[in-house]
Amino acid sequence: MIRYAPLNAVLTLLLLAAIGAAALSGLWQVAAVAFGIDVALRTGLALLDRGLRAFAGLPLVDYGTGLRRPAGPAGV
């Protein structure tokens, strides 16, 4: 998700800070919740991007490879 790189960096720093704080205090549940929130936000952004691209007829991007696929029923 290159377009969301600043947000991705902020989320990563927040996750690392929460895990570090949890590790220092022994509250591993806090780290688990922080990780869950981080994953949910990243997944939500990816799904939102994919849905908006499909709706607008823009090519979809496979974030694993960076390849673009044509939009439409076959590309959804």
Which two structure tokens, joined as six digits, stand for 15?
């996750």
pTM, two decimal places: 0.44
> 3-class DSSP state for residue 75?
coil
pLDDT: which is higher, 40 or 29: 40
Asked if residue 14 lies in contact with residue 6, where contact means CB atoms within 8 angstroms, the answer is no
**pLDDT > 70? residue 17:** yes
pLDDT digits over 46-69, tens only? 788 778 877 887 777 666 666 666
Asked if residue 22 lies in contact with residue 28, where contact means CB atoms within 8 angstroms, the answer is yes
